[in-house]
Amino acid sequence: MCVFSTRVTYGLHTSFNMKISRNWLQKYFESTLPSALELADLFTFHSFEVEEVTQVEDDWVIDVDILPNRSSDCLSHRGIAREVSTLLSIPLKNDSLRDTLPAWKPLTHTKVSVENNALCPRYMTALIRGVRVEPSPPWLQKALKTLGQKSINNIVDATNYVMLDTGQPLHAFDYSLLATDEEGTRHLSVRLAKKGEEITTLTGDTYTLGDTHQLIADGVSGLPLALAGIKGGKVAEVTEGTVDVILESANFNFVNVRKTSNELKLATDASVRFQNEPSQLLPAFALRDLITLIEDVSEGELVGVIDVFTGTGERTPVNVTLSEINSLLGTNLLVTDVEDILVRFEWEFSRDAEEFAVTSAWERSDVTIKEAIIEEIGRVYGYSNIPSQMLPTPESRPLVNKNQYYIEKIQKSLSEMGYSEVLTYTLAERGEVELLNPLAV
């Protein structure tokens, strides 16, 4: 069910390829979007590398390479739609992350406890009763199939659809399979695993855990229900017999999720998103969309919501001057040029003479320093619009590294003679020393 293709690594940075449906993007706009190939060119020159563009029935799928600095917001169709809106300067028809959230009823007879708020700054849950677990409607099956995902049932498909739309991983548990205490209350506990504790995931794989791995557990029975931010377990799996579902929409510490995923060698759509530090405000918007969708496709009815939130999600203004922008980009932008670009982002900003105080959108957790603001201005302005300049002539001739000089001279000579150079990995899976994570197999 993974939407991501092979990881591409640049030094210590890992990118992920996400498949984007053009028809899905179009739902965000009144005006007709450019063709998929034109959108691919737009991304290539302003935002992301594009691996390929493929036609799938009456839709086109764009395989986009998302680098870590944009993974917090662009591993989603909404994030890509926001990007298209900015680059083409066309408004979104609707933006799910800008709507007012509903005032939900509190959920009774259910308790949520978080052991370590630093590892789980937000945990939201909602109970929906009276669902009918059955095959998803054709439109939902088609949306997932277009992106290479297998349809499971209407509840699971709904969690996957909203994740692909908003970028927030979600999960559903069978509420009736949770144990009750003497007062009839069910309890979800977010806690660290006990060393040696085991969990069997939805795929039937069993993992032995360490005491740094975070779990969602049944607070009454103590049984593990899910690996926090990574994968659900079998204990409270949603099946055809499920009538009441309790939904999870949370924010987990990105470092803990990454370490757990690496140590267990278990990478999922959820872990990829969490390890790139999505906003702590996102869970509420995704939960709202998931509740609406499940009520629509399953005839269930919302009972109430619990929100354990100890974070903030607040944004701090970043100051940058016009001279700093032009100096770093090599441009001659005017104050009005910068203002026009910031308006296209729909970011809050104020200006004092030629100094800007910019507050990026809350979902852009990557924009925290002035250099990030300058980079955003430059790519939207268009790097092709920045004139090329010769490097200044050095005052003195640099010393020649003799070893490097002769290595390159020999390589060039051998190449001209028809030889080919092959670079191979030096670390294999087995040898005198066995590696836990070999570069070559």
Q: What is the C-alpha to C-alpha distance for residues 413 and 39, in angstroms, rounded to an integer? A: 43
Look at residue 439 in the predicted model and tell me its pLDDT: 57
Residues in the chain: 441
pTM: 0.87
> pLDDT of 209-234, one tens digit each?
999 999 999 999 999 999 999 999 99
| 3-class SS shares of the chain: helix, strand, coil, % to 5 | 30, 25, 45
State in Å, rounded, how far the first CA of the chain is from the last one. 25
Q: Residue 1: its pLDDT value, please?
A: 38
Query: Using H for helix, E for strand and C for coil, what is the string for 212-253?
Result: CCEEEEECCCCCEEEECCCEEECCCCCCCCCCCEEEEEEECC
- From residue 47, give the alpha-carbon distance in Å to each of 44, 71, 128, 329, 377: 6, 12, 39, 16, 12
Q: State the residue for tokens 């267990």.
A: 264
User: pLDDT at position 315, please?
Assistant: 86
Q: Which pair of tokens denotes residue 149?
A: 């995902």
Taking 50 as the pLDDT cut, the residues of the chain under it are 1-13
Of 326, 382, 387, the residue nearest 356 (C-alpha): 326
Give the residue from 287, 297, 280, 283 showing the smallest Cα distance to 246: 287
Residue 438 confidence (pLDDT): 62
Taking alpha carbons only, the member of 86, 123, 98, 95 closest to residue 27 is: 95
Whose CA is closest to 34, among 44, 22, 46, 45?
22
The alpha carbons of the chain give a radius of gyration, in whole angstroms, of: 25
Burial degree of 358 (CB within 10 A; 0-12, 13-18, 19+): buried
Residue 397 CA to residue 169 CA, distance in Å, equals 55
What domains are defined for the chain?
8-88 (3.30.56.10), 110-309 (3.50.40.10), 318-385 (3.30.56.10)
Q: 3-state DSSP call for residue 94? A: coil
Distances (CA, A) of 127 to 57, 175, 384: 37, 8, 52
DSSP state of 123: E
Instruction: Give per-residue pLDDT as tens, 79-89.
Output: 999 999 999 99
Query: What per-residue confidence (pLDDT) applies to 430?
Result: 62
The distance from CA 83 to its chain's CA centroid, rounded to whole angstroms, is 15
| Res 9: pLDDT | 40
Q: What is the pLDDT of residue 428?
A: 59
